[in-house]
Structure formats: C-alpha cells, structure tokens
Amino acid sequence: MKAYHVGKMGIAEGIALVFGLVIPHLFLSRLADVIQENGQLSWLTMSFYTVISLVVLFMMVYVIHSVPGDFVTVCQQLVGNLGAWLIVIVYICLFFANSSLLLRQYAEYTLITALPKVNFQLVIVWYALTTGIMCYLGIEALCRTGYILLPFMAGGLMLVCVMVSPFYVAYNLTPWQGNGIQVAVQSGIKGVGFNIGVLSLVFLSSAFQNGKTIKKIALYALGGSLVLRITFMLVYTMVFGVAIGSEKVMPFFELARLVYINQYIQRIEALFIVVWVFIGLLAIASSLYIGLYLITVLLKLPTMRPIVPLGVMAIAQFSMLPPDIGYTIYVDRLMLQVSQVGIYLFPGILFIMALVKKRRKKPCADS
Amino acid sequence: MGESGITKIAKNIKKLLVYQPERLPDPFVLDENQGDGKTAKEPPVALKGVRELESMLRYARRLAIFMEKTIEILRNGQRPDKAELLQIEYTALEQQQGELSAIKLSYNSTEAVEPAISTSLEENQKVIEDLYNLPLNKDVVIRKLTIPGQPAVKAMLIFMDGLADKKVVNMTVLNPLMMMRNARPELYSADLVNIIIEQYLPSGQASRVGSFKEVQQGINTGDAVLFFDGIGEAVTVETKGFEHRGVDRPATEQSVRGAQNAFTEVLRVNTALIRSMLHSSDLVTEMIPVGKRGHTNCAVMYLASIANRNLVAEVRRRIQGISTDLIIDSGILEHLIVDFPSNPFPQTLSTERPDRVVEHLVEGRVGILLDGSPFGHIVPITIFTLMHSADDFSLHYYYTNMLRMIRWIGGFMSMLLPGIYLAISTFHQEAMPTELLLSITAARAQVPFPTIFEILIMELAFELIREGGLRIPGILGSTIGIVGAIILGQAAVTAKIVSPIMVIVIAVTGLASYSIPDYRLASAFRLFRWIFVLLALAMGLVGMACGFAVFTAVLCSMKSFGAPYLAPIAPKTTPGGDIILRKASHMQQRRPDELNPQDDIRQSAVSRPWTEEPSIGGDEL
C-alpha cells in the first residue's frame, strides 16, 4: 500500500469533504457579490450552481468508470500524455489557488474580527501549520474530522439565523424577480466554479466504493449545502436587504454581530469565530490535500507526506503575495472565472473522449 | 632485637610531629563494562567450553565406573538381577553418549547451544546449578531421592523456596514417591514418566517437559520439577503456594450496585474470577510467556466463537513479538503492544474488575491479563468505551445516560475551560455579559499578574496538591488535600496573587477531571489542557479552534488494534447501542460493528418473548 493511499471512505466522509470545499465561501465576500448581481433571486443562481455541478460530476463519474485507473491514468488514456499533464496541472493550480486565497481571506478576517493586534504573518503561518498537520494525518482523518465538526458548524450557522429573527424584514425579499431571471441564470452558469470542490470525489474515486456512492455523496453534499446557502441567503437578505447586504464583505460575521437576546446574550459574534475557523481550516486543508494528491499521482511519487511541508510553505507564500484584501478578493473573483475551465472544458473534453472511445471499442467477437 | 626506649620515644615524637596522610579505603567506582553488553556477559576465552568439557569428563568418569562395575560383576558371577541393573545403566550411558554429540557441537562452535535435559542426573544438576547460580543462590532447593522400584530409580526434585508450598511438595510429590515400598514396580520396563504421572503423583497438574526453558518456567512460577536418572525428560508438578493478597474490593473502580470483587496480583486467580462469571466452554485462555530475563505469564482471553480471529492472532503476534527483559506491570505491557505508544490517549481499557472484562469479552473483545498485575487490558477499544463506568451496566439507562452526559461535559471542561477563560478574558472580552465583565475586572484589579500567570500558578498548585495527596499515607492524604486546597486558595485570593474567579475556574476544572472514569484518559485530558492554555494564550479562540481541529484529526487517525478510535461515529458504522448514550439492555441487539465479530447479533430482536405470550394472571383488571 502506498503512503498516499486514500483509504476507504464512506458516504459520511465524502459529504464532509465536499461540504468543506464548497461551503466556506458562504462566510466570505462571494456571497455579497452574488446578491449584488442577482438581488432577491440569488437563490436561483445558487440552485443553478448545484444542478450544473451535479451534471458535471455525473459526467466525470461516467468518464472514470469507462477507463480503469486513477485520474491521471484516465486522462492519459483519453487525451494522451501531454493532455493529461495539462489537465492535471490546471486542476493542481486551481486547488492550490483556492487554498491560498482561502488562507489569505480567513487570515484577514481573523485579524479584522478576532485578533486585531496580532501580526498578519503569524496568522498566516498559524493557519498554514494547522492545515499542514491535518493534511499530514491523511484524508481519512481530515474527512472524519470534518464529519464530526459538521453538525456543530451547520448548527452554529442555523443558530445565528434563528437568533437574528427579530431583525427579519420579509419585504426585503421583494421584488422576487431580483435583477431578472435571465441575469440569475447567466450568473448561475458563469459561477459554477463555486462548486469545483465536488470534483475532488472524482480525483479520490478509489477511496469510495463505486460510482453510485460518489453520486450519492455529491447529491447529499451539494443538496445540503444548497439548503444551507439558500437559508442563509434568505435570512441575510431579510435582515440587511439587497442594497446593504451587497456591500458587506463578511456576511456571517455581520449577521452574528446583530444577535441580541437580552443584556446578557449580546455581542457573541466572537464565539462564532470558532465555527468559521473550523470551516476555513477544513476547506484550506482539503484543497491543499487534493492539490498535493494530484501532484503525487502525476509524478508517481511513492509517498505524499514529504511534500506536505512544501505545499504548506507554497500556499503560505502565495497567500501573502496580494498586497491587500481588496486585491485578494479581486483575484478570487478572477479564479472563479478560471475555474470554468475545470468545471466545463476539461470534463466536457474527457466526457466526449470517453464516449468516442466507447463507440470505437468493438466487441471481442468482431476483433 | 627489640627497640630501645629512646628509639620508641623518638618514633612516637616523629609520628606526632610529622604529617601523615589519612589512610582511606580504595574508592569504589562503578565503571562501565568493557566493550558492549553482549561481550561482557560472555565467559572469558580461557573458560569458553569448560562446561562442555566437564560434561564430557563426567561421562568418561561414569563410563569408567560402569566398566569397573561390569568387570567386578562378571568376575564374581553375581545374580542375574545385577545384570539387569547393568543393562539399564548401559542404556542410560548409551543415551548420554548420544547427548554428547550436541555437547561436542557446542564445544566446537562459537555460539552457545541451549542445553537439553540429560539422562544423567548429575548433568542436569550441573545445568540447574549453572542456571540458578548455585550454591550462591539460596532460593532453589535441590532434593535428591530414590524411588523404590525394581530397580530403584534415582530422582531429583527441584523447587523454589517460598514460591512452592512445602506442604504440597511433601504431600503430592515426596510422600507418594518415597512411600511406595510395598509396590516396588518395574518402572524402567515401560514409560517411566508416564507411570509416575498417571499412578504416583496425586497432583491436579503434572506434565512432562523436554527442555530447560520449560523447566525454568515451571520452577520460576512455583512448580516443582522432577528429574529421573536415565530419562531425558522431566515432570513439572503444580505446587504453587506463594503468599498473595486475597480478592478484594476494587480500589479505583468502585461500584454502587455492581459486583464487588477485583483482580489480584495472581494470574490464575484473575482468570478464575473471569471464569466464575462467564461459565462458557467457549472461553479460551491462552498463556504466553513474555520477557527474556524473567518470564512473566500473560493470559489472552477471548470467546472463540465471537472474537474476530484476525484480532486474536494480532494480539497473540504482538505479545509473542515482545523483546524485553521483564514486564512487571500491565502499563508496560500496554506500551509494548499498542499502535501509538507515544500518544497519551489510552488505547486499551485497563480495568481491575472481572465483570467489565466479561462484559467486553461477550462483545467480541480480547482480554489480556499479566501475572503480577491487578489490572487487565481489554482490546480493541474506542474513546467512548473509556467514558463508560462500571456502574453503567447496573443502573437504569436513563440515569446512566444522564451520568454519561455529565462525564462528557466534565471531560471537555477539564480540557478546555482554563483555555476558554484565558481566550475570552484576554482576546474576546466583548463576548462576556457586561455585568460579569465588570465583576471580573473588579476582582482582577488588585491582582498584579496577567491571567496566564494566574492559571499557571493555580494549575501548578492543584497538581501539587493532587500529587502530594497521593503520596501522603492513609486518610491523611485526602484530608490534607482538601484542607490544603481550601487554605491555599483562600490565602492566594487574600494575598491578591490570584483572583477569586480564577480559583473557581481551576476548582471546577479539577472537579471535572475527576468525573472521567478512566484515570489514564483523565491524565491525557489534563496534559492537553496545558496545550490548550498555550494555544489560547497565543491566538485566543482562534488558537483553540485550530487546536481542537487538530486534536480531533489526531483522534480520527488513531486505531486501537485495528479498530478506529472514534468508531462508530468516525467512521460511521452500525452502532451497538452503547456509545455515548446507552440503550436499554433489551434493545442492544448487535455487537459493536467496529470489532467485526464472528457473530454480529448479540440477542434476537425480541429479547423479551414473554411480553408476547399471554399473561398467566388472566384478563386485564
């Protein structure tokens, strides 16, 4: 057994992995972007993200089951060596970029919300070290940690939504058309990169029992995250409205700040820091692990653990490159667009090639 | 010629006036052995092979005596029974000659060859003397005897004084063997060892052994060993009779309603305690000797039809694979067989209660008991097993579940409370209600130290009281512990070294740590408490959240004898009905899935079939 062998994971672990990769943007400024773009109809955009990413995943499941082997072998069989290298390197870059950008954004928000006097580099190093240890322990431990912490994270999120109920203004959900259905659909198609993390199930397919399990995981994880996102988005819109809501860069924190039950339970946003730290850590660690795993498979390395510190150092350095949070958000938006290559182009090519290959394959009796 | 008076006086004056250094004995310096340990233990080159040479000489001498005796008998034309004696002696000499080839091999080779039991009593005595450093060692008793027979058989009995019961030795070995004058059987005509065991040793346990390794095991554990002249085998007879503590109440796992007996230091008493609770022919007790210098018996117990065979094989493999001098405590054994010995979290369930062992054996786990230790191990376990207590099985499950929730809360508090207090009071003051914040600030106003210093001082004081209380003998320990804590806490607050709230935090944390049923788990939580305090000091709640995530990941990556440490939650498996909360006994249909037992089902879906039968009492009221 190779040291980077992904082990045997079940539905629960898979859900935690996907959930951890797709949900953290809920706490970041991308949510405000979606609201700004689509107004009250943001839920439709989110639904499109989910439906399209599910279709893409189903296509990829077909691809990996039409050719035996790991993801790199599948790509090599379908698009040749050069094509496989190109595809895998792009995915590595996407996951590394995601990891770095999340690291930077979470570090920035930590500084703003919880530890204003702490040195910025220290926070980056702290998060990077933590995620490095989690990666080092392996994907099984990572996913199981996510699975254990998931109820607390989702519960914390829902608790905030319930506790700000006195601030609900139902009229903020009108006009229900938002900025128009067409805009929502277009935005939904363009922003599917939001859910690129679901493809991790394809990369780690050998860890799961079969294609049916992967599809089930995707369905549960994306469905669950969609419910959570829509609930949060509706609550957020009801509380802040579209105009104010689209200006805020830390939606969850802003919502938590409003909690006021009585004079003893107020200003408890600090306690919810724990929730988004968990989600951030899992997302950064999962992205980093997928990137490192793809490198290991691509270079046919015997083990992954020695490159974990290198990966950690790389994402820490990359995350410190943007001069400020504004530029980081800008790069993040850019990466969302670039992610479309990974969510539309490559799966499309691989799917077509798999179909073609299947048609070309003649029965044994004919040959 | 004697000295003159003047010379004597001059000498004495000289002695008085001239300084003479004090005569001191040569100082003793414990030098290191020359070379590595291996060579130091080996005999010097000149002595190498002396034992083998002596053996050969003894054989030669015996042969010479035999030849002289034969000549004498032939010359005198003595009775035919003498010729029969000669025949027996000749056979013995032939056998001894056969043994000499191994001795010769050992003499010629550079490596030591394990001595085999010889047909010569003299040879065997010599080996025993070598092995036990006789006559320096006064514990080993060698008793020579002659068993009356046709012809008489010379024998040698060896036992360890103090370990073997002399009364038992007399009654079950010496008496029957020496008092068979009337019978005078022909022992050499058939299988002597078999006849002795079957007809003349009234002991419950007597078995033949063929090597000195087995002989040593027998002697070292209190058995008596019998050697016979002309026979290359020995017989071990159970004569154990050393002093030991009787079965007592559990000291660390008291129970209000459960069984009230605990393991002792004697392995056989412990296995018997388990057998007395689990009357099943399916219960297997394997004995594995461990330790190179001193053999300690280790019992591996399991239910053959339930425990996973691979698990049993793995436990056996790990114990047999131990290479160490001596194991005197089950804690040492644990470190030698678990997957992560450097991880402070216990990976076996250590218990002194036979009823808990039985409960887990029935679930499909394996019990490990060590001779000399009153604690047994159960493997594999999960962290949830460690939070169960002995009383859980005897109380109503509603109450049990309430207690378990309290224990879990206590566990988390013992690990996280000081860290959370430090994080909130240092970094996230806004999270505290204003009134509470003002009260804390007022209390802390006169304390000149930062919160972390207060925590460290108080934690240190608490650990000192705990450790000191353990060392002070008798009831005085707990009294001093309580009084010391109260006085120390009060004095520290009055002296304004710590704030009252800090005393409360540390006291609650300390109390919470006592709610954890497993002492080793509580210790692990206490260790991690320091880490969380440091994390909180560095990064507040963010640091604690990071630490907790890593802590969970570490637990998720751990396994106890192949079973995930957080099963059946991570990975999710079919629960057995007794994890964090406990179902009613009649609802626990399955055995824990993570154990992969041979038989998954503990009881049928309807474990109370009488509820479906008509009542004897007739119709409803």
Q: Answer yes or no: is pLDDT of B36 > 60.
A: no
3-state secondary structure of B157: strand
Instruction: State the pLDDT at residue B92.
Output: 78
Instruction: State the pLDDT at residue A367.
Output: 45
> Comparing A101-110, B86-95, B249-258, B298-307, which segment has the lowest mean pLDDT?
B86-95
| Residue-wise pLDDT tens digits, A36-53 | 989 999 999 999 999 999
For residue B572, the chain A residue with the least C-alpha distance is A12
CA distance to partner chain B, nearest, from residue A255 (Å) = 15
pLDDT band at B71 (very low <50, low <70, confident <90, very high): confident
**In terms of Cα–Cα distance, which of B564, B430, B420 is closest to B501?**
B420
pLDDT band at A251 (very low <50, low <70, confident <90, very high): confident
Whether B477 and B562 have beta carbons less than 8 Å apart is answered as no
CB contact under 8 A, B539 and A13: no
What percentage of residues in chain A have a pLDDT greater than 90?
A: 65
DSSP B245: P
CB contact under 8 A, A137 and B553: yes
> Comparing A38-52, A337-351, B199-213, B343-357, which segment has the lowest mean pLDDT?
B199-213
> Comparing A88-102, A203-217, B83-97, B586-600, which segment has the lowest mean pLDDT?
B83-97
Highest mean pLDDT among A100-109, B53-62, B131-140: A100-109
CB contact under 8 A, B571 and A118: no
When pLDDT is averaged across residues B529-550 and rounded to a whole number, the result is 95
Cα R_g (chain A), whole angstroms: 21
Q: Does A128 touch chain B (CB under 8 A)?
A: no
Give the integer Cα–Cα distance in Å for A142 and A130: 12
CB contact under 8 A, A264 and B557: no
**Pairing state of beta strands B234-237 and B224-228?**
antiparallel
CA torsion sign for A296, A297, A302, A303 is positive
pLDDT band at B221 (very low <50, low <70, confident <90, very high): confident
Q: Does B544 touch chain A (CB under 8 A)?
A: yes
- ipTM confidence: 0.92
Give the integer Cα–Cα distance in Å for B414 and B515: 9
> What φ, ψ does residue A10 adopt, rounded to 5°?
-105, -170
CB contact under 8 A, B539 and A126: yes
Distance of CA B372 to the CA centre of its chain: 6
DSSP A178: T
> Comparing A314-323, B67-76, B290-299, which segment has the lowest mean pLDDT?
B67-76
pLDDT band at B39 (very low <50, low <70, confident <90, very high): very low
Partner residue opposite A134 with nearest CB, options B540, B549, B569: B549
Q: A130, A257, A312: which to substitute to probe chain B, counting the most B Cβ within 10 Å?
A: A130
Instruction: State the pLDDT at residue B184.
Output: 65
Non-local (6+) Cβ contacts of B575 within 8 A are: B568, B590, B592, B593
Q: Answer yes or no: is pLDDT of B291 > 90.
A: no
> Which residues in chain B touch residue A12, judged by CB atoms under 8 angstroms apart?
570-572
Partner residue opposite B431 with nearest CB, options A133, A147, A270: A270
Instruction: State the pLDDT at residue B256.
Output: 85
Give the integer Cα–Cα distance in Å for B124 and B295: 21
Give the integer Cα–Cα distance in Å for A72 and A203: 9
3-state secondary structure of B579: coil
pLDDT band at A316 (very low <50, low <70, confident <90, very high): very high
Tokens of A166: 């006195």
**In terms of Cα–Cα distance, which of B366, B381, B370 is closest to B311?**
B366
For residue B434, the chain A residue with the least C-alpha distance is A264
When pLDDT is averaged across residues B128-134 and rounded to a whole number, the result is 89
Partner residue opposite A137 with nearest CB, options B434, B435, B554: B554
Q: Answer yes or no: is pLDDT of B111 > 70.
A: no
Q: Answer yes or no: is pLDDT of A6 > 80.
A: no
CB contact under 8 A, A267 and B424: no
Partner residue opposite B541 with nearest CB, options A12, A123, A274: A274
When pLDDT is averaged across residues B369-374 and rounded to a whole number, the result is 94
Instruction: State the pLDDT at residue B40.
Output: 47
Instruction: State the pLDDT at residue B81.
Output: 67
Count of residues making up chain A: 367
Give the integer Cα–Cα distance in Å for A9 and A140: 7
pLDDT band at A175 (very low <50, low <70, confident <90, very high): confident
DSSP A240-279: HHHHHHTT-S-HHHHHHHT-BSSSSSB--TTTTHHHHHHH
Domains of chain A, start order = 11-360 (1.20.1740.10)
Residues of chain B numbered 421-440 and touching chain A (CB < 8 Å): 424, 427-428, 430-431, 433-436
Helix (H) or strand (E) holding B147: strand B140-147
When pLDDT is averaged across residues B386-406 and rounded to a whole number, the result is 91
What percentage of residues in chain B have a pLDDT greater than 90?
A: 42
Quick check: bond before A251 cis, omega within 30? no
Distance of CA B605 to the CA centre of its chain: 40
Mean pLDDT of chain A: 90
Q: Model-level pTM?
A: 0.83
3-state secondary structure of B563: strand
Q: Answer yes or no: is pLDDT of B302 > 70.
A: yes
| Residue-wise pLDDT tens digits, B447-491 | 889 999 999 999 998 888 888 887 877 777 777 777 777 888 888
When pLDDT is averaged across residues B289-294 and rounded to a whole number, the result is 86
Q: Answer yes or no: is pLDDT of A1 > 50.
A: no
Give the integer Cα–Cα distance in Å for B103 and B58: 12
Mean pLDDT of chain B: 86
Instruction: State the pLDDT at residue B436.
Output: 82
Instruction: State the pLDDT at residue B285.
Output: 94
**Pairing state of beta strands B283-290 and B206-209?**
unpaired
Give the integer Cα–Cα distance in Å for B224 and B196: 14
Helix (H) or strand (E) holding B236: strand B234-237
CA distance to A74, A204, A299, A343, B441, per residue, from A82 (Å): 13, 22, 13, 20, 66
